[in-house]
């Protein structure tokens, strides 16, 4: 149901809340970017599947119902908290093809060619979504592959009614789709934009999903689907080969683990930067009484900006694929390091990003998507998946029905040259064959006494980590309900550029003036929205689900 959220007494100035979709259940909950995909997850739970089954089914359904980010041609990260208390993370991030090289996106002048990095076949990394979802299902699911994929196949074959938002997305990207015949055929009606209310069928995608259902990963990484991918690459100067597809493997990694005010924080390790930065910022903020300082106060916002500034500076220097570079995760997530890193914090004066470099002691489109799934046995799954930019590089593989990603832009194509989100990278994230590009995706699970409390994450490129930070702080520091924690307006700082971006209501005019007087920059305007935190919370024997009101999504529980 939808309901208005009331202002909380802890707010020190009026905040304009929007509608949030909220449900309370006892047996299971799914919160995602698509109401149809959430219902698919609920359907799998009702069949007797566990949260992992439902998460995989939701992921495949999103490839049908939310094509701008739900995908077969991209990748993602998954955090799983099992009923026995074990926490696992699965990395199915895309990889650079074997023929990729460090300078592949530099022009004759040595500058980054953004068109090549974002809108070409060369911009596509080797997809990981299919391998990752199937790996999670094989290891921890309870239903078979055919059961879990059946709803997505049905949706692709029979179609579903386009809502106003998705039809509007198609129209907004129509000029890009027109550059590629297979894309135009998929996202139009005989060359004309599809309208809301139209029944949208995807027969090519249905055949691809059926091949995966029948043959598992070999239905995608080998055989006819792989042949279609490679043929399209060879015809358009792309890099992905049969060998790249066959050799792709997801990786189980030890989660990033931290603690904050008696709660355990579990998130993704590198090549995600999300878990490391989240724990690092929480460590910097833990010594301060955030609850007493109050939500939205000048003191709280100043503290959080300065933590964000330092953490994102470390991201640029230290974070990359741990299979290729040494990532000092233990150092960056230690409380001792946080104290040292925050030692030069001045409560009266803003830091200068030009002078705050990476410490040394002893990334993503708004159309990335996040979903959270929980069951009544205590299993919980937090998943973030992406094509990078909205609709990836806009290229549909002819005959296969799915979009390619443009994740290669998430590498650092040139040291200190910002990517499309303004994020700076250096050698740790340079392009190398087979390497996974650095990400900001931050699927996160908060536990207490071995039991899940909060599942959250977000799309939003460089803003993802700070969205997760604020949802976590809203729950733990400010004791908000899940609805209020997700709906509450947000702000963002990422070191470079040295500006504060914020939603309407996140920073009052009075607080903005005080922050400007302290030296903070970029406070003369607001960003329309930051993040989409589709979240689930366990509370008093119930499972609460909220779909972020910034988007049209859905929750489904029972």
Q: What angle do CA 118, 119, 120 make, to 5 degrees?
A: 110
**How high is the pLDDT of residue 105?**
96
Helix (H) or strand (E) holding 198: none
Instruction: Supply the DSSP string of 69-80, one letter for each residue.
Output: T--SSSEEEEEE
Helix (H) or strand (E) holding 392: none
**How high is the pLDDT of residue 141?**
98
Contact 306, 345 (CB under 8 A): yes
Instruction: Supply the DSSP string of 11-58, one letter for each residue.
Output: -SS------EEEEEESSEEEEES-HHHHHHHHHHHHTT--HHHHHHHH
pTM: 0.93
- Using CB atoms within 10 A of its CB, is residue 8 exposed (0-12), middle (13-18) or buried (19+)? middle
C-alpha–C-alpha distance, residues 139 and 435, integer Å: 25
Contact 208, 152 (CB under 8 A): no
Each residue of 317-329: b (16+ CB within 10 Å) or e? bbbbbbbbbebbb
Residue keyed to tokens 């009614």: 161
3-state secondary structure 303-369: HHHHHHHHHHHHHHHHCCCCCCCCCCHHHHCCHHHHHHHCCCCCCCCCCCCCCCCCCCCCCCCCCCE
In sequence order, which residues have a C-beta less than 8 Å from that of residue 369 and are 6 or more positions away? 32, 33, 62, 66, 69, 70, 384, 385, 386, 459, 532
C-alpha–C-alpha distance, residues 107 and 116, integer Å: 10
Residue keyed to tokens 């832009």: 409
Contact 348, 7 (CB under 8 A): no
**How high is the pLDDT of residue 454?**
98
CA-closest candidate to residue 535, choices 465, 478, 468: 468
C-alpha–C-alpha distance, residues 211 and 545, integer Å: 33
Residue 363, both tokens? 């990334």
26 is annotated as an active-site residue = no
CATH fold, domain 1-118+253-396+404-558, is 3.60.20
Which residue ranges in the chain fall short of pLDDT 70? 1-19, 357-367, 416-426, 524-525
C-alpha–C-alpha distance, residues 492 and 528, integer Å: 12
Residue spans per domain, the chain:
1-118+253-396+404-558
> 159 — alpha (psi -120 to 50), left (phi > 0) or beta?
left
Helix extents (H) in 159-222: 164-172, 174-177, 181-186, 203-215, 218-221
* Edge-first strand listing for the sheet containing 28-32: 251-253, 87-92, 75-81, 380-386, 369-375, 28-32, 554-557
Catalytic residue among 368, 369, 385, 487: 368
**How high is the pLDDT of residue 316?**
85
In sequence order, which residues have a C-beta less than 8 Å from that of residue 318 and are 6 or more positions away? 327, 328, 332, 358, 428
Q: How big, in percent rounded to 5, are the helix, strand and coil portions of the chain? A: 35, 20, 45
Each residue of 488-505: b (16+ CB within 10 Å) or e? bbbbbbbbbebbbbbbeb
């Amino acid at each position: 149901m939808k309901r208005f959220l009331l202002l909380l007494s802890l707010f020190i100035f009026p905040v304009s809340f929007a509608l949030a979709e909220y449900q309370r259940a006892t047996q299971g909950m799914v919160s995602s970017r698509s109401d149809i995909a959430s219902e698919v997850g609920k359907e799998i739970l009702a069949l007797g599947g566990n949260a992992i089954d439902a998460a995989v089914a939701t992921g495949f359904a999103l490839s049908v119902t939310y094509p701008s980010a739900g995908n077969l041609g991209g990748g993602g990260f998954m955090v799983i908290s099992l009923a026995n208390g074990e926490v696992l993370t699965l990395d199915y991030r895309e990889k650079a093809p074997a023929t990729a090289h460090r300078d592949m996106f530099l022009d004759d002048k040595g500058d980054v060619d953004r068109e090549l990095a974002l809108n070409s076949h060369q911009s596509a990394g080797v997809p990981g979504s299919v391998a990752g979802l199937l790996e999670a299902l094989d290891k921890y699911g309870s239903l078979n592959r055919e059961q879990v994929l059946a709803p997505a196949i049905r949706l692709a074959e029979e179609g579903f009614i386009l809502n106003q938002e998705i039809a509007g997305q198609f129209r907004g990207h129509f000029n890009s789709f027109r550059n590629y015949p297979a894309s135009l055929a998929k996202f139009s009606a005989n060359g004309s934009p599809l309208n809301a209310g139209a029944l949208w069928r995807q027969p090519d995608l249905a055949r691809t999903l059926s091949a995966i259902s029948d043959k598992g990963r070999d239905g995608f990484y080998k055989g006819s689907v792989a042949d279609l991918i490679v043929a399209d690459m060879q015809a358009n100067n792309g890099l992905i080969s049969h060998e790249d597809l066959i050799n792709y493997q997801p990786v189980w990694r030890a989660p990033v683990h931290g603690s904050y005010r008696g709660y355990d924080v579990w998130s993704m390790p590198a090549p995600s930067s999300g878990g490391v930065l989240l724990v690092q910022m929480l460590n910097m903020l833990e010594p301060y009484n955030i609850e007493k300082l109050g939500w939205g106060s000048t003191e709280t916002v100043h503290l959080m900006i300065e933590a964000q500034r330092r953490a994102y500076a470390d991201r640029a220097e230290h974070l990359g694929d741990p299979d290729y570079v040494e990532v000092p995760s233990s150092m960056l997530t230690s409380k001792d390091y946080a104290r040292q890193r925050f030692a030069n914090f001045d409560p009266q004066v803003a830091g200068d990003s030009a002078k705050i470099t990476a410490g040394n002691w002893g990334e993503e489109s708004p159309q990335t998507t996040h979903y959270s799934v929980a069951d009544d046995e205590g299993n919980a799954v937090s998943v973030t998946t992406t094509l990078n930019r909205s609709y990836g590089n806009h290229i549909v593989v002819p005959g296969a029905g799915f979009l390619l990603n443009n994740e290669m832009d998430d590498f650092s194509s040139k040291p200190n040259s910002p990517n499309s989100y303004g994020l700076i990278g250096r050698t740790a994230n340079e392009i190398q064959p087979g390497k996974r590009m650095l990400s900001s995706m931050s699927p996160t699970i908060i536990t207490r006494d071995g039991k899940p409390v909060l599942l959250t994450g977000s799309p939003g490129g460089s803003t993802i980590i700070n969205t997760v930070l604020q949802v976590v702080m809203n729950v733990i520091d400010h004791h908000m309900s899940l609805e209020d924690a997700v709906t509450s307006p947000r702000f963002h700082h990422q070191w470079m550029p040295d500006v504060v971006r914020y939603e309407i209501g996140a920073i009052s005019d009075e607080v903005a003036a005080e922050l400007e007087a302290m030296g903070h920059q970029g406070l003369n305007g607001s960003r329309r929205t930051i993040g989409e935190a589709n979240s689930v919370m366990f509370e008093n024997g119930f499972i609460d689900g909220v779909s972020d009101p910034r988007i049209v999504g859905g929750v489904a529980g029972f």
